[in-house]
Chain A
Amino acid sequence: MTEPILDLRGINKSFGPVHVLHDIDFTVQPGEVTALVGDNGAGKSTLVKCIAGIHPIDSGEVYFEGEQVHIHGPRDAAHLGIEVVYQDLALCDNLDIVQNMFLGRERGKAGLLDEADMEQAARKTLTSLSVRTVKSVRTQVASLSGGQRQTVAIAKAVLWNSKVVLLDEPTAALGVAQTRQVLDLVRRLAEQGLGVVLISHNMNDVFEVADRIACLYLGRMAAEVLTKDVTHGQVVELITAGRSGDLGIARPESATI
């Protein structure tokens, strides 16, 4: 078995008196889509933000490609090759696709931007993902559809040679057909060998793209299972009750926040 690209052990996180994450163990395998599911407030987004370096963790260990690392901020995470795509489309409307993809990391020398080089790299990345729905890489992001924007946000992750991509409800703001396009792209990311984490509330989407499913219940990891081994019903039970048959937390009723 390949070693996990990202391995979290015993992660704890509190906001003041609220203990949000309890001893979370979570692994991401290269080339697989891991769906992170859970009810509202279960800690999904917090976990992703901890990985991305936005929230510091209180205790626990993080291993990246087998080596222990300390993530103190988003820059550390980006440096390791961890990229996050948020549901609220973190792109700048007034910039074009190339400017967005290189925002904050522009290429150039002697104080001048190398526009041609950046444009070429952006186009190459979109082609490598078989994205053919965007006409020109100089289109302003404001004029793109929601699906196209998420495509750009995801392509950004590929451009920067990321090894792990975390997608926090990438399809929440999208229509049905655009959701399909984005999920197709998510799968192609994994097929290129990246480790992909997908947060989603839609069970159909999860079953269609994910290779494994991690269920959070009230800040605890209820179960990490292979998609092919479970049914919709079992996953819903894990989300709502924290256990299903032999799976899940031994005594969910004693779980406290």
Chain B
Amino acid sequence: MTTPTAGARPDEVRRHNRTALLRKLHVDGPSTRASLAAELGLNRSTIKALVDGLAESGVVAERVPAQRSGAGRPSLLVLPQPHAAVVMAIDVRVEQVAMALVGLGGDILGRDSWNLHHRSRDPGEVITHIADSAKLLADELDVVPVGVGVSVPGVVRRADGLVHEAPNLHWTDVALGSRLSAVLKVPVQVGNDAELGALAEHVRGAARTASDMVYITADVGVGGGVISSGRPLRGTGGYVGELGHMVVRPGGRRCYCGCQGCWETEVGEAALCRALALPEDAPRGAVVAELRSLAASPEAVAHRLGEFTEWLAMGLVTVVNMLGPELVVLGDLFTALPDQVVDEVRRVVQKRSLVSRAVGGTRILSSPLGRDAKLLGAAELAFEPVLSEV
């Protein structure tokens, strides 16, 4: 911003500091007062005033740390209280919906999920089921969610949560955000699944220390989320991330997006099923079981997944060259790939990508959050506005 803004009033400064402190506790977990003061660059007395205020309203609790770190009176440990602010995270997938209540600090307090079949995949059905389940979970845990975050595998308008297209769900122009907030009576934010996966990895997973990272997810479709200089890369309207639809094989299989030979048609779940000689609609567990039994024999992995590995590496070379991340996290179905495949992909990318060579080898990892990444990302999305209000 180039125009000078008005000076900040003390209560605004205080609110800003309070939010910063809460965010730090929410992301990094319990910390001592001393380390909060050091890391936020605030005076100890400011920290004390803020923590006292938060403790009084029950948002944090203080405890004498169990382990002493040195001489003198130990600094009190400040613990976020999960029940002080609870959000609801919903992960809509092609074959199932998972939802969870997540407390301050990122603890999952309760969860539910159900399979989707062709009839129950209708947006109305999904919304009804979410509303029923939300009430059950909230009653059981005796909490009132203050926000809702939803992850959807499709192109989503962030401003109002309109799902433009979610081809694998067969949804077009579904006003998911406004319909859900009308039913649940709390603010609802909707985001693209890969973008939220990237957010979760950045806040709680493998990419906590990486400020430039790409998260690649494979469910039925393939998508990507990008964190650039510590912030999500959104593009116009927030539509960045359809990495699964780069054309890698001219004249390849026809994709529903209108192109031929998209990356998704070579490394998506259907492609993996073909490589494993499973039917293309095999349940997820069957794919995981087959990959696991395959992992025992390196020759079998090389033989059956060789071509798949090649396509995965080829797409990743382009992704790394284009976006220049320091870390690529492979999520969801890719976490079930044998280590051997990930190692091979890492080796190929390092050899073929200019950017990877220049930065001394882009790291490529399997997601430690696995299947929960998008759910946790949706929770973080919902927490975003909540932290400044608690």
Contacts and interface: CB of A to CB of B under 8 A. Distances in A.
B110 interface: yes
Contact of B140 (A31, A132, A177, A211): A177
A191 B286 contact: no
Contacts of B133: 180
Interface in B206-232: none
Interface string A174-211: 01111011011001101111110000000000011111
B109 A31 contact: no
Given A132-B107, A175-B140, A193-B292, 14 more contacts: A1-B279, A30-B285, A31-B284, A32-B283, A32-B286, A183-B113, A183-B114, A184-B111, A187-B96, A194-B289, A207-B115, A209-B114, A227-B115, A227-B117
Nearest to A178: B140
A2 B108 contact: no
B9 interface: no
A195 B285 CA distance: 9
A130 B372 contact: yes
27 contacts: A2-B289, A2-B290, A5-B289, A30-B290, A31-B283, A31-B287, A31-B289, A130-B108, A132-B107, A132-B109, A177-B110, A177-B139, A180-B133, A180-B136, A181-B110, A181-B112, A183-B113, A184-B98, A191-B285, A191-B371, A193-B285, A193-B288, A207-B115, A208-B114, A208-B115, A210-B115, A211-B285
Contacts of B293: 30
Contacts of B112: 180-181, 183-184
B289 A30 contact: yes
A211 B284 CA distance: 10
A191 B284 contact: yes
B118 interface: yes
B143 interface: no
A33 B285 CA distance: 9
Q: Specify which of B108, B113, B133 lies most central, judged by the most chain A CB atoms within 10 Å of its CB.
A: B113
Interface in B117-156: 117-118, 133, 136-137, 139-140
A209 B115 contact: yes
Interface residues of B, number: 33
Contact of B285 (A1, A31, A178): A31
Contacts of A32: 283, 285-286
B275 interface: no
Contacts, number: 91
Nearest to B372: A130
A254 interface: no
B278 interface: yes
A109 interface: no
Q: Specify which of A5, A183, A184 lies most central, judged by the most chain B CB atoms within 10 Å of its CB.
A: A184
A28 to B, nearest CB: 11
B134 to A, nearest CB: 11
A110 B173 CA distance: 67
A228 interface: yes
A150 interface: no
A176 B292 contact: no
Given A1-B279, A178-B140, A194 B110 contact: no
B115 A2 contact: no
Contacts of B118: 228
B285 A194 contact: yes
A75 to B, nearest CB: 25
Nearest to B96: A187
B109 to A, nearest CB: 7
Contact of A190 (B136, B283, B292): B283
Q: Specify which of B115, B118, B291 lies most central, judged by the most chain A CB atoms within 10 Å of its CB.
A: B115
Contact of A188 (B137, B140, B289, B371): B371
A211 B288 CA distance: 15
Contacts of A193: 285, 288-289, 291-292
Contact of A211 (B111, B279, B283, B372): B283
